[in-house]
Amino acid sequence: MAATRQMWAALVFKIFSMICSSGAASYTRNVSVELNPGSLAPPPGGDLLHVRAVGDHDTLHFLFCSQGTPALLLVHTNVTFSNVSVDWPRFLSRNGSGSLRVEPASSILSRTGLIFSRLLEYNDVNNTARVPLDLFPPYQLRNVTWSAMELSGAAARLCGAVAQGSICLHLTVFEREGRDEIWPRLLHTANTSQVAVQLDGLSPRSERSRFFLELQAVGGVSPLNAVEVHRSIDDEFTPSVFKVSEWTSGDEGSSADERGFVLWKQVAYRRSPPALEDASPCRHSNPQRQSDRALTEAGGLALAFFTAEDSVFGLNISFGVAGEPFYNATKFLSWTATVGVGLPPADTFSPLVVAIMAVGLGAPLVMLLMGGVYMCLRKRSAVTGYEPIN
């Protein structure tokens, strides 16, 4: 019986995968990687990564840099020949607003920047996971010394030394639709990138320390000023995580083309590689408009590209809830987000889940039918069997 069930599951799974893959041929981009565009020598203070993802009629420019405050920029243009130009002397002065441009400027559809501004720590004396007023002095990520960028394909890793441990930012850009191998196994498309933040081996300043991360987003036409929380389906990809946060523009008037977003499942992991039992919920504060000085304070990449007219919004992502182990327990935390343009990818029931449901609902029916037929046949043979002999 179990074997037939498996056969059914395999068959239905195959049919559904065929329907899914033929129905939506995924959009692909040609991805190429360039370090320090237009510079003859590696710049002091950290590399500037440029990933160009060319589509049929558009280009996504991903820029990633640890100069100043580490930041990721995503610029979407409606041509396939747009390029990045950097005025290096001004860029390196860390005071060069407008020293990095994407040209032609008229082709730009959307501009989104994500700034990793600060790492904060507090002593959770009563194990409530509520951020108190008195925190330990925050770690300003612009003051951290970052190692050289490690590249592998269209992925890059930046690590900085903090509190005898490290904070690492891991960026991946994708050519096509897919799903990450490791939890939280986020969905990605050719229009998104993924950033993972890892806090590895930091020495907490109290036994009951918890950490949280301050992020800032800069947007062009539609600033990222609101977070929508959606319920997600509890599937086999991220078991026991029910909520997805989508940090995007609350401006209903803007078209999907003009929008950027940052999306994450409300979970962090206390070990690497992540396992189910190491999952820990994460929470976020409401986006707050940051002061006019935010860009100047961020410096580096964000200041080089954005101008004072672009508004900056910030929020905090905190890890852990009341009663959960403190950072000290594993001395590790990882959190992953998707950064992209257009409409955020949404989870649907996977072919596997659909197949299981189909089998779950279908198999009893089939058994009922087969049972009915069997009973009929038996009855008939019984009737014939009892035919009078004489």
Ligand X SMILES: *[C@@H]1O[C@H](CO)[C@@H](O)[C@H](O)[C@H]1NC(C)=O
* 33 near ligand X, rule: CB under 6 A: no
Nearest Cα to Cα of residue 244 among 185, 322, 200, 177:
185
For the bound state, the minimum distance from the C-beta of residue 269 to ligand X, rounded and expressed in Å, comes to 18
Using the CB atoms, write b or e for 79-116: b if 16+ within 10 Å: beebbbebebeebbebebbebbbbeeeebbbbbbbbbb
Binder of ligand X out of 106, 152, 164, 390 (CB under 6 A): 106
Q: Are 223 and 314 in contact (CB under 8 A)?
A: no
* 37 near ligand X, rule: CB under 6 A: yes
Which one-letter DSSP state was computed for residue 158? E
Of the pair 199, 315, the CB lying nearest ligand X is at 315
Nearest Cα to Cα of residue 14 among 383, 365, 359, 377:
359
Binder of ligand X out of 189, 222, 225, 311 (CB under 6 A): 189
* 55 near ligand X, rule: CB under 6 A: yes
* 99 near ligand X, rule: CB under 6 A: no
* 132 near ligand X, rule: CB under 6 A: yes
Give the separation between CA 318 and CA 281, rounded to whole angstroms: 9
Give the separation between CA 333 and CA 274, rounded to whole angstroms: 9
Of the pair 17, 80, the CB lying nearest ligand X is at 80
Question: What part of residues 215-274 is at the interface with ligand X (CB under 6 A)?
Answer: none
Give the separation between CA 351 and CA 23, rounded to whole angstroms: 13
Number of residues that bind ligand X (CB under 6 A): 39
Question: What part of residues 354-383 is at the interface with ligand X (CB under 6 A)?
Answer: none
Question: What part of residues 10-29 is at the interface with ligand X (CB under 6 A)?
Answer: 27
Residue nearest ligand X, Cβ-based: 314
Which one-letter DSSP state was computed for residue 314? E
Give the separation between CA 221 and CA 223, rounded to whole angstroms: 6
The token pair that represents 97 in the structure block: 């607003």
* 107 near ligand X, rule: CB under 6 A: yes
Rule CB under 6 A: which residues touch ligand X? 27, 30, 37-38, 54-56, 58, 78-79, 81, 83, 85, 93, 95, 106-107, 120, 125-126, 131-132, 135, 140, 143, 189-191, 207, 214, 285, 288, 314-316, 328-329, 342-343
